[in-house]
Structure 1
Amino acid sequence: MRAGSMTADRDLGEMAVVETLPATLVDLFGLLTRLGDPVTLLLVVVTGYLLADYLGVSSTRMATALALALGGFAATLALKHAFALPRPPGAGTDGYGFPSGHALGATVVYGGLAALFDDRRLSAAAAGLVVVVATSRVVIGVHYLADVVVGVAVGLGYVAAGLGVGPGRSPERVTAAETGRTFALAVAVGLVALAAAVVTDTVVAAAATAGGWIGWRVAGDRVVAAAGSTRRLVASFALLPGVVVVALFVLDGGVTLPVAGGLAGGTVALLLAIPGLSG
């Protein structure tokens, strides 16, 4: 009864409008929504972190972006399981609908990068990507408008909190200690998600945040001190496909919770440490 009532409160009539949209437009937004997929967002920050030296950015900035992403994913799961509200009828996909994880994740990753680098063009691109991803979730019928609006709002709040405890917005320099504090916040949010529900997604999120914090604690100073090298580049490229494979394997849900947690935490810890260990 409660869930049904809150579902009705979230429906502002947008689903009726969506049903009248041309199929071609819906298909287009079905492709654009991939820009907010968790694996896509993970690839953006992981690639940026592993190749930071070769992209002309600091490893600490990209590590902070990764910490924000992990915390954002954990926040999404904590809220989804806390509210346990369904998606629109006929959504055709599993999982709870409130808030939109795509909208929240896109805001944290793209908005976090824009805030860290404080570039007008990057900020405009980030805003555009967030709007496109959020809109796509409503257009393809998997979320109500309220879901994506709250997702964006929570995402902005999490970016502000993550940077607030860490390096601040558009910092001139990001230290290893400041990045570590952003990871610590992500761990706290991961534990909240785990408290909300002990399922594969929350176990993976909590383990991933813990792995990130541990990996940075172990090798953060080495990462900062390490200069770019061919060895580091090769190690980064060798690790990246492995990260994707492990992410897809774990999220598929075909392993036990302890194994899922171990794989997620271990992979993220190695991911954070490899640039310092291979420098």
Structure 2
Amino acid sequence: MEKFLYDLTWVLPLRSDVATPVFQFFSWLGYTAFFLLSLPVIFWTLGRKIADHVAIPTVLAAVAMYFLKDLCQDPRPPAELSIEGTRPDSFGFPSGHTLIAIVFWSSLAFELRKQWFTILAVILIFGIAFSRLYLGVHDVEDVLGGLLFGLLILGGSRLVLTPRIQSTTSRLSVVGLSALALVPITSLLVWPNQSPPGGMFLLSGFLPAWIAGASLQAWFIPALRIAGWKILPGALLGFLLLFGLEFGLKTFFRSVETPKELAQICAGILFGFAVTLAIPALFRLLKLEKRTVVT
């Protein structure tokens, strides 16, 4: 059993010049950058309800991933087994790619309820999970841990969290909003290491801003979304604004020598409000959105 969980030498004969780019692509689909690009598009094109049901569990999954890695402090496989000859600085257990992929793609599949997308989601989840073994950055135990915790968070979000998200965010319920928003912030107070990873500070600002921004949008902006040919120009405009915001914030925070943790919290807050409130308001002003029953 120990050999099965920790020995990755069986992966080496499977590697080839054809397979490597494929699994590198699968692995990219599990990085934070991909989700930061995907969640705004879901919000702008599929509507607030679906976006909430995907984004909030995904952010909570990321919080769990960061926390569990620092709690368990499980080393990754040796660098010589990595296809790039190096290994990431973070700990191995559980596989964050696997954990977040299960929550993100499964939540989206539950919301879309399309057979073809469900099949695609399953392929992507297992492709992302196996890519971490293929690339030599996780062992089997890490991936199985990601699968287990991903399923637990997914099940909890579908059975408990998801049915309440809509009423919580649409009515600005103080209790519901605080309970969701305080999860990343509270975790910082009980962090197993003295120094939480930078991503945790970003999430601590992003999640409450996302929830509050989505709630304000529901109150003050009609239920609108980008559709048809307007999706591409709208998404491009939104991304340009987000990249501009990122560049501006980095420049500003460097100039005033803001502490890194505070800068990340502020960036998370501004990004959350930009995605859910400011940019949709601009879409409406430019008439890039149309009225829809999706809320």
Q: TM-score range, shorter-chain basis?
A: 0.7 to 0.9
Question: Is the 2:169–2:215 Cα contact (8 Å) retained in structure 1?
Answer: no
Task: Spell out the pairing of 1:26-41 with structure 2 (5 A cutoff).
Answer: 26-41=20-35
Q: Deviations over 1:139-180 (max 9, x none)?
A: 100001111122122122212222333444xx9xx8453677
Q: Deviations over 1:24-51 (max 9, x none)?
A: 2334312321111111123222212112
Task: Spell out the pairing of 1:43-58 with structure 2 (5 A cutoff).
Answer: 43-52=37-46, 58=47
Aligned to 2:292: none
Aligned to 1:205: 203
Shift in CA distance, 185/75, structure 1 to aligned 2, threshold 3 Å: farther
Aligned to 1:3: none
Q: TM-score, normalised by structure 1?
A: 0.78
Residues matched between the structures, number:
261
Residue type of the alignment partner of 2:150: G
Aligned to 1:148: 143
Question: Is the 1:184–1:213 Cα contact (8 Å) retained in structure 2?
Answer: no
CA distance in 1, matches of 2:167, 2:280: 12
Residue type of the alignment partner of 1:238: L
Does 1:274 find its partner at 2:278?
yes
Q: TM-score, normalised by structure 2?
A: 0.74
Question: Is the 1:72–1:158 Cα contact (8 Å) retained in structure 2?
Answer: yes
Question: Is the 2:50–2:111 Cα contact (8 Å) retained in structure 1?
Answer: yes
Question: Is the 2:44–2:280 Cα contact (8 Å) retained in structure 1?
Answer: no
Query: Shift of the alpha carbon at 1:137?
Result: 0.3
* RMSD of aligned alpha carbons: 3.5
CA distance in 2, matches of 1:250, 1:80: 29
Does 1:111 find its partner at 2:121?
no
Aligned to 2:184: 190
Does 1:259 find its partner at 2:254?
no
Shift in CA distance, 257/62, structure 1 to aligned 2, threshold 3 Å: same
Question: Is the 1:222–1:276 Cα contact (8 Å) retained in structure 2?
Answer: no
CA distance in 2, matches of 1:19, 1:221: 55
Does 1:12 find its partner at 2:16?
no
Structure number with larger C-alpha Rg: 2
Structure 2 unmatched runs, 5+? 285-295
Does 1:63 find its partner at 2:61?
no
Question: Is the 2:184–2:203 Cα contact (8 Å) retained in structure 1?
Answer: yes
Aligned to 1:4: none
Shift in CA distance, 242/141, structure 1 to aligned 2, threshold 3 Å: farther
Partner SS state of residue 36, structure 1: coil
Give the share of equivalent positions with the same residue, in percent.
Answer: 17
Residue type of the alignment partner of 2:27: T
Query: Shift of the alpha carbon at 1:267?
Result: 0.9
